[in-house]
A and B are shown apart, each in its own frame.
Chain A
């Protein structure tokens, strides 16, 4: 993993990093305070649900009985043995569309959160470490983004760039990076005066190296927890955008746009209820999992459990 030889006099960064990693990996496993994530029943259910959706996404062409885009004369058929979730106004099989929808929603949510974590994390790291002007500028920028409700800003961005999948993802990255920037920045700030950092600096360790080898590993934990929590939010926001016609273009099987289609006539409840349930289960599962992770990794929540 590392290629640099340890500085003979500095505290061995390898040891330090290993300690850090062990600290939050240890908490993930339960540490000294409680059960590991995979021993909490609700987290297990959440993991199972997510696993199920991942499988569905990977195996969609096998699982789905019909082509998700194929129209038929059998419109608005209620759920039955031939169409488990019924059909929509164009006679498309809703079960097949929901299953294929997982192929869009889950990878896109992962992409949004990873990109936001990358952008926000880097900026937060730099701001926290450098302080002063860089910090001020960055924090005002995050204030600017926080000033708008997420969905409104995302709508404005997609509307401006033109509605399609790429721009929806871009818009959601733009509205969601500041949380990561703030979390990482505050983690960095809290360790700024730490002895081992001072020692490293005195020994001539440059800022890039210090950030990469000492600061980042010690501050990334909370951001990872946040990212897991935000995955659900990303699924939801993406669905909201495509509900409004600002997401992936039709006829793509996207959960949000499927709900929108069904909302035109709620007497055909199955058209929007099933994609709605898909959104619900995925979002809930991500949230539960994120909560469980936080309980393990964040000392403030670990107490009393």
Chain B
């Protein structure tokens, strides 16, 4: 043997190390191009790509939402980090009927698409109908809505059931308005059979036909997406002429940001990863993710987890403060299912607290000695946090109260399959909202609803007060009163639902010091690149 396997292995390791070093060197130097220009014209956004399409009717993934929000205007939008009050965008004003079923939008005049043609109510209705009828992932938000125009500058949106959150829905990137004529020329359909007939995705992945502050310059879903400023933008022109969204894993993002000097943003550095970043960088974070346990309420799956006393005992056994500390800066002990970023969240003062003595007493009351439960969780790192570490902490906390949890880390798909099958006795999962309205939690997690049934939580097994509190939320049309009702629902949920909220955690935008407006938004697009400027 001229080359021993060991020498080969050493060589391979050396090569791999070199490769890693050279990659980081390249990417770290990536922003260097700016420095030579005197004035910085390019904004670089580093993110670990979750990108399938830039077609507004189909976009559902984080990176796609960031880009689509910059390429297409919506009727309404949100400014900065706020997700409570939609502000005018394509619509200069709107009116809602008292029954929250009819919403009338008055379009701004003089808006043109990036090709110069005027934007009319027809384009709006076409785009929204297309979104609804091609039945892509984001269509669920508009499935109950119908769209029509009364004249060229008035669009009427009607909801089948009272829904005060229609304005929020119409701020989502997926409701972006396309140039209907160009879209139709390239295979877009808006009819009820559009799910089969629409063939525009390929075109829309590589061309933007919106009226937004940017136009698409290049689309390489594996590496980068480049946006150029729209020279004819109707609104305030963005400060950066180019925006480059760069695909980069989170560790490299951290290295890059440690060296970045100007006009650079990272979207995925959060939790413990924020430790050790230079103070010169600015961060903007919002707690928009909650992490919770779900216990199966079906005695056939687990007689232990279905026991209400066990449910109470586990709630009391958990060290919520300690768990929040595991997530690092920007996390908080669990209060309710609605994350602090959204209307209807419970105040931090109502965070759950630990009481091991109570937990033990409850177990004794229920005659449960050494209850043992299999504890499923996905073996992933989510937003900078290893879920296994949190699960191990929960296990340790439970052990102190005399509860044995058998940790069962699973690949994500296995975990989801088992959760959907309703066979998980006890599981742990993060949850983020797809759009900033917490009502979807009631639609999914109230007794008898789809997600609740996966934990065996039928209406019969639930406290009637919880069912009533959930109905109260959907019946309340005033948004402020609705938020209050939502809080009440969560308080009841915290007493006897299958869900134990452990903590809430932030998503964070990290930006170089020279930037302004690099605010994290929980509205889906993470950061409004058009609003980012220089000091």
Contact = CB atoms under 8 A, between A and B. Distances in A.
Interface of A: 69-71, 73, 75, 89-90, 159, 163, 245, 249-251, 261, 264-265, 267, 287
B326 A89 contact: yes
Given A90-B393, A264-B386, A159 B407 contact: no
Interface size class of B (residues with CB under 8 A): 20 to 34
Contacts of B325: 75
Contacts, number: 45
A186 B174 CA distance: 66
B371 interface: no
B396 interface: yes
The 5 A-B pairs with the shortest beta carbon distances in the complex, nearest first, are A71-B396, A245-B379, A251-B392, A250-B407, A267-B276
A261 B389 CA distance: 8
B110 interface: no
Interface of B: 6, 272-273, 275-276, 322, 325-326, 379, 381, 386, 388-389, 391-393, 395-397, 407-409, 411
Contacts of A264: 272, 381, 386, 389
21 contacts: A71-B392, A71-B393, A73-B322, A90-B326, A90-B389, A90-B396, A163-B379, A163-B409, A249-B407, A249-B409, A250-B388, A250-B391, A251-B395, A251-B396, A251-B407, A261-B386, A264-B272, A264-B381, A264-B386, A264-B389, A265-B275
B339 to A, nearest CB: 23
A265 B276 CA distance: 9
A84 to B, nearest CB: 21
A48 to B, nearest CB: 23
Given A73-B322, A249-B408, A265 B388 contact: no
A254 B381 CA distance: 19
Contacts of A265: 272-273, 275
A249 B411 CA distance: 13
Contacts of A245: 379, 388, 409
A88 B407 CA distance: 18
Given A159-B411, A267-B275, A89 B389 contact: yes
A96 to B, nearest CB: 14
Contacts of A251: 392, 395-396, 407
A193 to B, nearest CB: 24
Contacts of B272: 264-265
A89 B273 CA distance: 14
Contacts of B273: 265
Contacts of A89: 326, 389
B409 A250 contact: yes
B265 to A, nearest CB: 22
Nearest to A179: B5
A257 to B, nearest CB: 8
A161 to B, nearest CB: 12
Contacts of A267: 275-276
A8 B209 CA distance: 97
A264 B389 CA distance: 10
Contacts of B397: 71
Given A90-B396, A250-B409, A264-B381, 4 more contacts: A71-B393, A89-B389, A251-B407, A287-B6
B157 to A, nearest CB: 46
Contacts of B275: 265, 267
A249 B388 CA distance: 10
A288 B500 CA distance: 52
B373 to A, nearest CB: 15
